[in-house]
Amino acid sequence: MVFIVVLCVLTACSNKNDGKTENLAMIKRTNPEPMDIINGMDEKDEKGLISKVKETVANEDTIYDVIVVKNDKKIIVAYKVKHLQRFHMKKIEKTVTENLEEKFPKNDFIVSSDYKIFLESVRLNELLKKKDVPEKKARKKFKEIEELQKELI
């Protein structure tokens, strides 16, 4: 009898979904929209610059998920590498950085394959999707991600 009660409690609690996509961000493709801290989505920004940046990175065969967040001339590009390509992460990062700097020389890129940077960028992206987010708060979060990247180097 106790076993049945315990089993019922465990199965009732096992399907708890808190609605956050970040829990599965490591496993599945999230494919977030590129965002600008000031303008929001890409339509108002320099003829789709951040969409072009995302497309450039996503065209790499070794990469399967990309997030792009822009703040003035600084752009955070975080991506996930296919499992079998993880041994070549430095080479991939170098290639991505060179491609971006060649195609978009007027911008400064923060390129990372680190999962923590990716996850924080997803959180910033989710924050920016809310219409009433103060620009100061978004810039602060962007700065935190930038500091985190510098820490990892």
Q: Tell me how many domains the chain contains.
A: 1
Task: Flag whether 16 is in a domain.
Answer: no
Task: Flag whether 101 is in a domain.
Answer: yes
Task: Flag whether 2 is in a domain.
Answer: no
Task: Flag whether 42 is in a domain.
Answer: yes
**What is the DSSP secondary structure assignment for residue 40, as one 8-state letter?**
B
Mapped onto helix, strand or coil, the DSSP state of residue 78 is strand
Crossing angle between the packed helical segments 89-103 and 49-58, to the nearest 10 degrees: 150
Task: Flag whether 15 is in a domain.
Answer: no
142, 37 Cβ separation under 8 angstroms: yes
Least confident residue range of 42-46, 84-88, 113-117, 121-125 = 42-46
CATH number reported for the structural domain that contains residue 66 in this entry:
3.30.300
Range of the domain at 53: 29-152
Is the Cα dihedral 17, 22, 23, 28 positive or negative?
A: positive
**pLDDT tens sequence across 63-115:** 999 999 999 889 999 999 988 888 888 999 999 999 999 999 999 999 999 99
pTM: 0.76
